[in-house]
Amino acid sequence: MPFGKKARHVKAYQFGADAPQEGMEAVLEQHRLRTDYYNALVEMELRQREERTALLANLAAESGLESPNQVYERLKAAGEKGIRKHPEYVAARERQKALYGHPRLLELQSRQREERNALRRSFGAKGLYSSNYLDVERAFDKARQSPELRFRRYSPHEGRLAVLYTEGLPMREIGSDTRVQLPLPDPIIYRDRATRRKHQRVLMKFRVRSVERQPLWITVPVYLHRELPDGVCREVSLHWHRVADRLRWTVSVVVEVEGPPVASPTGRGAVAVDLGWRRVEGGLRAGFWVGEDGAGGEIALSEGDLKQFSKVEDLRSIRDQHLNALKEALAAWLEAPPAPLPDWLAEETKTLPQWRSPARFAALFRRWQSERVHADEAAYGLLEGWHKRDRHLWQYEANLREQMILRRREQYRVLAATLARQYDALIVEDFNLRAAAELDQGGSDLPDAARRYRTIASPSTLRDALVNAFAQRGKPVRKLNPAHTTTDCHACGGALVGDPAKELRLYCPTCERFYDQDENAARNLLRRAQEVQAQV
């Protein structure tokens, strides 16, 4: 760290909000432009990747060499395994790197950069606010690190707008800035709950875009339930997402503050956490922790929590049953209506037996409600009754789902804070939870029940809570290779006997005892961390 510089870190604060009091059209316009800009960047990147690949292949051919793609296809046709580590493929990649400084490639890259700048200018001319296109570019640059880029679907029911402070803005000036004006309440209101609840609501002015260099503001009621720290503001963003038939609004404030002081040792050493999900007696296990002081325990959602998550699924099932019954009854009525159908109704419902979305039936109800048909009482009554019941069940389902997700997150945060206070370092497995989730969705051999339990346990939420809790307190987080942590005995190093997918407790022939496989994995992580530390 340079002399005289203080360690700093970034903290994000999220607050509840109400819908903007005006300017919703401008909000949706910016959201649409953001989506279009992101998709245009994706389209451009995919095309530019093809151009770079083709040019590199031509340069390699001119040199009389095979490109990495050609080597890959040749080895694949020959039945080789592990091609990306094959010496010929590795050598081809190294040869390609030598071409990166070729004048023709540098010229192409320069032209492609200018194309991106021109695209930015074109969207700026369309009215996309500068902070929003910078925010989109930040998200895109992160996404383009992945080999697979995906387009985004526009939805008015979910989105965000952002104001970025690249140079930073002192928090004391956030109430009078030209981009965001967020009045900060007197700190005295946070001394007791009653006073805080009475005075936490403030009106934030948020700049959506500029019109002839003048700001176009929207006013958003925000509930500052906790005090914002003194520091440097880096970002203020407005978020919304749909919960059933209404929008839930939040405001996020990102503040750069002085780093936490160096934590004094607790004397209890490190704690290792093995992440996993399995049904156990009394609930759903999401992980197991073991400390160097010998303490340990499972991280689990209770039976009551499981029942509530199951209730969400039950509500969805009930809605599906009601929808199928409605579809069958309406189809029968439409086949033999008591009076000729108007053209719009016949055209609208000609594919009704294939409809699967409740939204299509709801749209049909809204139109039928304003364009009643002669002798339609029976069919319209069915549709009206279904719409009323389904709206209630939809609200029940969506609110319960969000409630349980927030409850789970809070439980994980409380546990993470407790461990971070008690221990000096965190040890977790280094593996890609997102890839595991995508594999589950892509048709893996994982049983449906295990896939469902993974979704409920949400190990990524648990890991994020743990990592954030230790990082906020200035304590290190170490990620270790998880290979064989479950199947190797932590006590003797021998192989455990049993099927980890079916049995919780595995047997060690050497120790002649059974071990909880999750506790065993956590102890192996702890032992490996100690071995690594001893080598330093």
Binding residues: 489, 492, 508, 511, 518
Domain assignment present for 211: yes
Regarding whether 46 and 22 lie in a shared domain, the answer is no
Regarding whether 325 and 241 lie in a shared domain, the answer is no
Q: Over 60: is that where the pLDDT of 442 sits? A: no
Domain boundary among 62, 95, 129: 129
Binding residues for Mg(2+): 518
Domain assignment present for 450: no
Q: How far apart are CA 8 and CA 254, in angstroms?
A: 13
Residue 70, number of CB atoms within 10 A of its CB: 14
Lowest mean pLDDT among 23-37, 247-261, 361-375: 247-261
Q: What percent of the chain has pLDDT over 90?
A: 78
pLDDT level of residue 440 (50, 70, 90 thresholds): low
Q: Over 90: is that where the pLDDT of 24 sits? A: yes
Nearest to 429 by CA among 488, 485, 480: 480
Pairing of strands 246-258, 8-17: antiparallel
Domain assignment present for 289: no
Q: What token pair was written down for 505?
A: 């407790």
Domain boundary among 192, 226, 258: 258
Q: How far apart are CA 431 and CA 521, in angstroms?
A: 14
Domain assignment present for 384: yes
Domain assignment present for 403: no
pLDDT level of residue 457 (50, 70, 90 thresholds): very high
Regarding whether 252 and 161 lie in a shared domain, the answer is yes
Q: What token pair was written down for 438?
A: 């995508």
Number of domains in the chain: 4
pLDDT digits (tens, 9 = 90+) for 159-205: 999 999 999 999 999 999 999 999 999 999 999 999 999 999 999 99
Q: Over 50: is that where the pLDDT of 1 sits? A: no
Q: How far apart are CA 100 and CA 43, in angstroms?
A: 23
Domain boundary among 398, 426, 448: 398
Regarding whether 252 and 193 lie in a shared domain, the answer is yes
Regarding whether 164 and 113 lie in a shared domain, the answer is no
Q: Over 60: is that where the pLDDT of 156 sits? A: yes
Regarding whether 101 and 166 lie in a shared domain, the answer is no
Regarding whether 80 and 229 lie in a shared domain, the answer is no
The letter for the amino acid at 124 is: G
pLDDT level of residue 66 (50, 70, 90 thresholds): confident
The per-residue pLDDT for 3 is 38
The per-residue pLDDT for 384 is 97
pLDDT digits (tens, 9 = 90+) for 214-233: 999 999 999 999 999 999 99
Regarding whether 98 and 166 lie in a shared domain, the answer is no
Mean pLDDT calculated for residue range 73-89: 90
Helix (H, G, I), strand (E, B) or coil at 393: helix
Q: Which domain holds residue 360?
A: 310-398
Regarding whether 188 and 117 lie in a shared domain, the answer is no
The per-residue pLDDT for 170 is 96
Long-range contacts of 23-30 (CB under 8 A, 24+ apart): 23/208, 23/216, 23/217, 23/218, 23/219, 24/218, 26/208, 26/209, 26/216, 26/218, 27/161, 27/208, 27/218, 27/238, 28/156, 29/127, 29/209, 30/127, 30/128, 30/129, 30/132, 30/161, 30/208, 30/209
pLDDT digits (tens, 9 = 90+) for 483-514: 899 999 999 999 999 998 889 999 999 999 99
Lowest mean pLDDT among 263-272, 356-365, 379-388: 263-272
Regarding whether 370 and 329 lie in a shared domain, the answer is yes
pLDDT level of residue 262 (50, 70, 90 thresholds): low
Regarding whether 125 and 46 lie in a shared domain, the answer is yes
The per-residue pLDDT for 2 is 40
Mean pLDDT calculated for residue range 344-358: 95
Domain assignment present for 85: yes
Lowest mean pLDDT among 36-40, 180-184, 266-270, 462-466: 266-270
Q: How far apart are CA 466 and CA 518, in angstroms?
A: 17
pLDDT digits (tens, 9 = 90+) for 44-59: 999 999 999 899 888 8
Lowest mean pLDDT among 30-34, 80-84, 234-238, 402-406: 80-84
Helix/strand/coil (H, E, C) string of 230-247?
A: CCEEEEEEEEEEEECCEE
Mean pLDDT calculated for residue range 303-312: 96
Domain assignment present for 209: yes
Mean pLDDT calculated for residue range 383-400: 97
Q: What token pair was written down for 251?
A: 């405001």
Binding residues for Zn(2+): 489, 492, 508, 511
Regarding whether 254 and 159 lie in a shared domain, the answer is yes
Domain assignment present for 442: no
